[in-house]
Structure 1
Amino acid sequence: MTAVSSASWSSPLWGQTALVTGAAGGMGRVIATDLARQGAAVLLVVRRAAQGKVLKREIAQATGNLEVDFLVADLSVQTSIRQLVTAVRQRHAQLHILVNNAGVHLQERQLSVDGIEMHFAVNHLAPFLLSNLLLDMMNVSAPARIVNVSSQTIADTRSLPFFGRSRPAVLDLNDLQSARNFEPGVAYGRSKLAMVMCGYVLARRLQGSGVTVNALHPGIVATDIVADVAPPLVRPFLSVIRRFLLTPEQGAASTVRLASLPELETVTGTYFVRANEQRSPESSYDVLTQERLWNASAALVGLS
């Protein structure tokens, strides 16, 4: 007997397709599960096939939605992102929701196989390239939404008060890859700031198309990145610190809300902190800097 998905026309997202990057992470799997529970066909982007198989089965069992599949990609590699887009097109004709959730935080400066600093490659250029390559699918699917998961580090590179002195992220167009002076928290904050700023550009370019672009800080969530950013002196106390942070479920809720709530369907070019609209750092609204960053990003990923 063939199993049938419990998703139906009465499900809020029935008939819609969603793509979630970083789906195997703590917040990513919750986002994907919640979207599947609302009836969407969900594509999970994971780094390893074994991860994807387990996650696909778990989400199908938890939601009764059998329209869940996975795709393997390394988002630090531009060729892999382009192959991912080809695979998405082979499975679906339309795409209604794109959640750029994947992110990386590293203590040492590393370069991707494309020769790009890893924070900038994964946290900014990956969602930049992926969003642009999928735009035609999203245009024909409109209304459609792009949700970029950012971080409080765009305003404060020491976003946890017990991790040190606060410092705002400042984008240096002459050193986007932190080649001159690398600090992990600063590089991370700059890459997330770049994602938000290019999101503003894309939102302007898509005005009136029915495709929206928004970003959010989901709150300080107890994910693996918290352990990555913690200084050595703090790490022995992480188990205690995590009790005061948001759970992945709490962090994912604002992302799912932005991706699915009907009353947010036409909101675009906006930055949220959890469920509330807020302004990102004032420097992020400089249109000339935004456009220069967009052009530099397009050159780095080979987009005209």
Structure 2
Amino acid sequence: MQTSSNAARLSARVDLDDLNNAQKYSPVRAYGNAKLELVLFTRELHDRHHEQGLSSVAFHPGGVSSNFARTSRSPVGTLFRTPVPRLFFQSPQKAAGHLLRFVTPAPGDSLISGAYYENGKPRTIKTPPIGPELWEATTALLDLDTKG
């Protein structure tokens, strides 16, 4: 299971030749790219290993009132230093409840492996068809053997 964010569809532009975002870095873009990449990895994990019994999901828990980005100098950090998160976002405890749904599904709760969930429902994100390429580029960047 991956915790993603709606930033995956709002601010992401994955560049396989610049996975570290070294050429066009911005904190918001790097965050969005990481969240989109988690969605792509979730799908790729499903495609590669679901037949062996592994299930995977990515989900956006919703806005959470936490210390997220409070030290960032980006516009997002500015927002998170205001009262807005405390007034409009859910508590970390409530967000954790969303997470538990995927860890310990209720009887009859059917989850779709490889899917991205937002507000408890599968949601389609238009993504480039680069799952296999992203997987290979990442394992190469990490110097991992993907044969096993």
Q: What range describes the TM-score normalised by the shorter chain of this pair?
A: 0.7 to 0.9
For the residues of structure 1 that align with 2:104 and 2:138, how far apart are their CA atoms?
Answer: 29
Instruction: Tell me the amino acid that sits aligned with residue 104 of structure 2.
Output: S
**Residues 210 and 266 of structure 1 are in contact (CA less than 8 Å); yes or no, is this contact kept in structure 2?**
no
Gaps of 5+ in 1: 1-146, 158-168
Once superposed, what is the RMSD of the aligned Cα atoms?
2.1
Please list the CA deviations of residues 213-271 of structure 1 after superposition, one character each: whole Å capped at 9, or x if unmatched: 110000011121142456365465x2344211111122111111011114456630111
- Are positions 1:275 and 2:116 aligned together? no
Find 2:53's aligned residue among 210, 221, 229.
Answer: 210
Q: 1:272 to 1:205 in 2, by over 3 A?
A: same
Gaps of 5+ in 2: none
Please list the CA deviations of residues 108-147 of structure 1 after superposition, one character each: whole Å capped at 9, or x if unmatched: xxxxxxxxxxxxxxxxxxxxxxxxxxxxxxxxxxxxxxx1
TM-score normalized by the length of structure 1: 0.43
Q: 1:283 to 1:239 in 2, by over 3 A?
A: same
Please list the CA deviations of residues 133-174 of structure 1 after superposition, one character each: whole Å capped at 9, or x if unmatched: xxxxxxxxxxxxxx10011111113xxxxxxxxxxx111111
Percent identity reads: 27
- SS across alignment from 2:42: helix
**Residues 212 and 266 of structure 1 are in contact (CA less than 8 Å); yes or no, is this contact kept in structure 2?**
no
For the residues of structure 2 that align with 1:195 and 1:239, how far apart are their CA atoms?
Answer: 29
- SS across alignment from 1:283: coil
Instruction: Tell me the amino acid that sits aligned with residue 303 of structure 1.
Output: L
More strand by share: 1
TM-score normalized by the length of structure 2: 0.84
Instruction: Tell me the amino acid that sits aligned with residue 35 of structure 2.
Output: K
- After superposition, where does 1:1-304 map in structure 2 within 5 Å? 147-157=1-11, 169-228=12-71, 231=75, 234=79, 238-261=82-105, 262-264=107-109, 267-280=112-125, 282-284=126-128, 286=129, 289-304=130-145
Instruction: Tell me the amino acid that sits aligned with residue 46 of structure 2.
Output: A
Question: How many residues align structurally?
Answer: 142
For the residues of structure 1 that align with 2:95 and 2:80, how far apart are their CA atoms?
Answer: 22
Instruction: Tell me the amino acid that sits aligned with residue 294 of structure 1.
Output: W
| Structure with bigger RCO (C-alpha 8 Å, 6+ apart) | 2
**Residues 222 and 242 of structure 1 are in contact (CA less than 8 Å); yes or no, is this contact kept in structure 2?**
yes
Q: 1:276 to 1:191 in 2, by over 3 A?
A: same
